[in-house]
Every structure is written in C-alpha cells, then in structure tokens.
Amino acid sequence: MKIVSFAAIKGGVGKTTLSYNFGEWLAKQGKKILFIDLDHQCNLSQTYEVYGDQKIGTVANIFLRKDDVTINHVKKNIDLIAGNMHLDDIETNIENMTNKNMRLYMWLNNNYDKYELGHYDYIIIDCHPDFSTATKNAIIVSHDIISPITPSKHGFDAKFNLQDRIDELRKEAIEFSTGESYVTAKLYFVANLIKRNTSSSNEMLESIKDDPSVIAVIPEKELFNRSNLDETPVVDMKDDTRIYNRNYNFFQEFDKTFKQIEDKL
C-alpha cells in the first residue's frame, strides 16, 4: 500500500482535480483506492455526492479520536472517507495538544486491521491548500507528496514555500527514541494549466526542464479542469466516442502522463 498526498500552499492550482483524476485513473487500471478528504471545502467528497458531518464518521473523527470512521464505497475499486466542513474549527480545538500532528498516523496504525487498510493499493489524501495541522498529518503518513504548480510568479514561488515548510516539519516530527523523522515522503511537482505559446508557460517549462522533482506536465484543457465539477473523470469521458475522437491526442497524452506519474511513485 502506498500513501500519496496532494498538497499545495496556493489554491486554484488544480490539486483536487489532479488527485481525483489520478485516483480514478488508477482504479481503471484495477488498483483499489481509498480517498481521504482533508480539505474542509469537501470538494472531493461532493464530487462523489457524499455529504456528512462529524456525527457520521467523517475525517473529523480521526482528529477528535472518537467513534468510528465511515468508509463509503463510491465506485468500483474506489472508497472514500468523507471530508468535514468544520475541520478547520477542529484543527483550532486541538492546536495545543502535543500529538496534534500525529492523529492520522495513530489512526492508521490503530485501525489497519479493523478497516482492512491493507486491501488498498493506494490511499490518496486531498489536502486543503495550506500548511495547517491536517496537512501536516497527511505529510507525516505519506510515502509521496504531489503538488501542482502553475505558470505564474506566485504559483511557482509556492513550490519553494512548500519545500521549506516540509523541511521544517521534517526537523520537528522526530521519534525521540531513535532521532529519526516521521517525515519520509518524497516531494514531487506536476506543472499544471500549461498553455500553448504563452510567455508565462514557456518560462515555467524552461525553468523546470532539468528539475527531477517535476515529474509531469499537464496542458490546460477544459475537459480536465472541469472533470470533478462535472463529476466525470477523464477516464470515463473516453467512453463517449464523440468526445474521444474529438480529443484523441489529449486522451493519449493523458494516459501517458498518468502512467509517468505512477512510475515515479
């Protein structure tokens, strides 16, 4: 089982769209996926029409350490632990607790057998675009972190901001008996929303061409950008012959790009 978090400091970079489509693509390859929605906007949960509050087993119970968590079966090969719109308030309530950044780590360890977590090939965590307690929890349990970056000054600056914040957390989250950090994840970036023949996109492509941490480039395409809003992943769009024929090159590149990401993890 591999745990992958999709994280970003800046909003609007396509984080949820990327995590949603990557999970759907993996599921189409026969992989078993568990999504964990740690974004209190709950966009991923709403894409699967799963709505909940802390009374019915959302991610809130992981952080509050009470009651059970509900694993919702939403699609073939895909399960989901729903987000909670009050997660930011819960983060504030546990702010002064010494183990605040280890809640998800402890939940996974304590419930590995109960929820048959070994059944999944991937746990994919969608984080809120910040570096709050929930995001730190996700980073600590992850094997890999994927962060979209976009062709703008602030979008690209976020790359270095996230790297710095993770390095700081790596020094803080220490197992005191061994001196080793709980943060072991590799950080990768995906260049997203790349437009053809624009100066900002060309500058970004030039700056990342020799950067091994940038593992994929995704062009700006309305089919991809609206996929979670329309609740139709790209892999399902291919079943529509008219859409597929009209966007043949895009679908070919999409498969190649997501295979490239999978191979890097």
Q: pLDDT by residue (tens digit) across 97-152?
A: 989 999 999 999 999 999 999 999 999 999 999 999 999 999 999 999 999 998 87
Tokens of residue 128, six digits: 């809120």
pLDDT at 204: 82
Q: What are phi and psi of 35, to 5 degrees?
A: -85, 140
Please state the rounded mean pLDDT for residues 163-184.
Answer: 95
Percent of the chain exceeding pLDDT 70 equals: 97
Residues 149, 160 contacting (CB under 8 angstroms):
no
Residues 192, 227 contacting (CB under 8 angstroms):
no
Please state the rounded mean pLDDT for residues 254-263.
Answer: 96
Tokens of residue 153, six digits: 């000054």
Give the pLDDT band of residue 156 (cuts 50, 70, 90): low
Residue 246 CB coordination number (10 Å) = 11
Q: Please tell me which residue, 10 or 31, carries the higher pLDDT value.
A: 31
Please state the rounded mean pLDDT for residues 18-42.
Answer: 97
Please state the rounded mean pLDDT for residues 146-167.
Answer: 85
- By C-alpha distance, which of 8, 36, 40, 31 is closest to 20? 36
> Domains in the chain, please, with CATH?
2-264 (3.40.50.300)
Please state the rounded mean pLDDT for residues 159-171.
Answer: 93
Please tell me the distance from the alpha carbon of residue 22 to that of residue 208, in angstroms, as a whole number.
22
Mean pLDDT, the chain, whole residue set: 92
Residues 31, 121 contacting (CB under 8 angstroms):
yes
pTM (predicted TM-score): 0.94
Is 155 a residue whose pLDDT tops 70? no
46-105 per-position pLDDT tens digit: 999 997 654 578 999 999 987 689 999 999 999 999 999 999 999 999 999 989 999 999
Please tell me the distance from the alpha carbon of residue 250 to that of residue 219, in angstroms, as a whole number.
9
